[in-house]
Structure 1
Amino acid sequence: MKNVIVTDPPRACIDKVDKLAEYGVATVHEALGRTGFLGPKLRPVHLGSRVGGTAVTVLSWPGDNLMIHAAIEQCQPGDLLVVTTTSPSSDGMFGDLFATALQTRGVRGLVTEAGVRDVAELNAMGFPVWSTAVSAQGTVKATAGAVNIPIIIGGQTIRPGDAVLADDDGVMVVPRGDVDRAIEAAQARTDKEEATRTAFRDGELGLDRYGLRAKLAELGVEYISAEQHLL
């Protein structure tokens, strides 16, 4: 790893990222063929936030938040800070002071594969965070890492400027060049789901709408009466 801070990387159009975020992580993830999800370990510290932003990426050493300090200078309105470490870490690398600095710069939230602390204060500030741990354990500022380089979380590559979506269902990444396609696919998925929702309200069963009766028969499932079952 080169210890670098990459300045002013190209970013996805924030208006399009905002539009994409409206669909929600689950819908966009399904619409794109179930790609881009960063995994179930990233959970919201508080429920109820739905955000999208352009990634500023950080690669830190475990237990060391020096590069988060360096990354804040590279942030601009509409960004999401995305942090991982060179090996697993649950230390509380981020708290309300960092959140204050980021809010001042118009940053929309934090996604971190490490720990956070000052949870009550983050909630009171309305600063959304997705993390893999909550921990009072503090950190040092001693080891160089990198800012705005490609990083990997949950098997997914996040590049600086990519669209990152986060809500109560988790976090996903959409590559910067795929945002337009993702919006089109998410709208099509939304239209399809609304048609299904209407059909279910009208009493149609999923067994019939999705053609699942034939699948049950193919799998050898039989319908028998309760009396027959007790024989």
Structure 2
Amino acid sequence: MKTVVVRNIPRADADVVKRLGALGASTVHEAYGRSGLMRPYLRPAWAGGEAAGTAVTVLAQPGDNWMIHVAVEQCRPGDILVVGCTSDNTDGMFGDLLATSLKARGVMGLVIDAGCRDVKSLREMGFPVWSKAISAKGTVKAALGAVNVPVVCAGVNVVPGDAVIADDDGVVVVGRKDAAEVAAKGEKRRADEEGKRGQLAAGVLGLDMYNMRAALAKAGLVYVDKPDSD
């Protein structure tokens, strides 16, 4: 592993990232061809947090948050810090002090494939975190890693500058060059869903709205008026 900090990275367009954030993780994931979704073990440290931003990436050693401190300097307003580890780890590598530093730089949130702590303080600060675990276990500052290199976080390859959308449904990463196209597809999908929501609210069944009956019959589904008697 090359121990390097890349200072200048291209970032996804801020207006496009904002549009993606308005769609939410689920819609973005669908609009991206069901790609980019991090593994579901990555959960919000506190419920209700939402974030959309551009990825500043960290490759850290397990149980060592030294490179997270290094990465803070490279963050700009509108970024999300994404931390991957060189091997599996659940230690509390991030807490309210680092969150205070990131918030001062306009960072939107943190995604970390390890543990975090100080959850009550994070919630009170309104700083959203998505992590693999909640753990009070402390960490050290001893081993070098890298900042703003491609990392794998919760099963997804994240390139610095990619768009990151996170909420209670999970975390989705959209490639920087794909972001505008995915936003447009997601907005079309959302408009279509609004129409369907209106029909469902009026009492139309999904069976009919999606024309499922013929396919169900072809698959062999049979309706009977009462159970077979013994």
Normalising by structure 2, we get a TM-score of: 0.97
Report how many residues are paired: 230
1:73-222 equivalence runs, <5 A: 73-222=73-222
Let me know the Cα RMSD of the aligned residues: 1.0
Secondary structure at the aligned position of 1:191 is classed as helix
SS state of the match for residue 101, structure 1?
helix
Listed one character per residue, the Cα deviations across residues 32-64 of structure 1 (whole Å, up to 9, x for unaligned) are 211110120110111112210000000001000
Q: After TM superposition, what 4+ stretches of structure 1 lie above 4 angstroms from structure 2?
A: none
CA distance in 2, matches of 1:153, 1:214: 42
Q: How many percent of aligned residue pairs carry the same amino acid?
A: 54
Residue segments in structure 2 that go unaligned for 5+ positions in a row = none
Return the TM-score normalized by structure 1: 0.97
The residue identity in structure 2 corresponding to 1:126 is G
> What are the equivalent positions in structure 2 for 1:29-108 lying under 5 Å apart?
29-108=29-108
1:21 is matched by which residue type in structure 2? G
SS across alignment from 1:107: coil
Query: Partner residue of 2:229?
Result: 230
Structure 1: which amino acid aligns with 2:114?
Answer: A
Name the CA distance, whole Å, in 2 between partners of 1:91 and 1:48. Answer: 23
Give deviations 1:111-139, integer Å, cap 9, x for gaps: 00000011111111111000010000001
Q: Unmatched 5+ residue regions in structure 1? A: none
* Cα drift, residue 154 of structure 1: 3.2
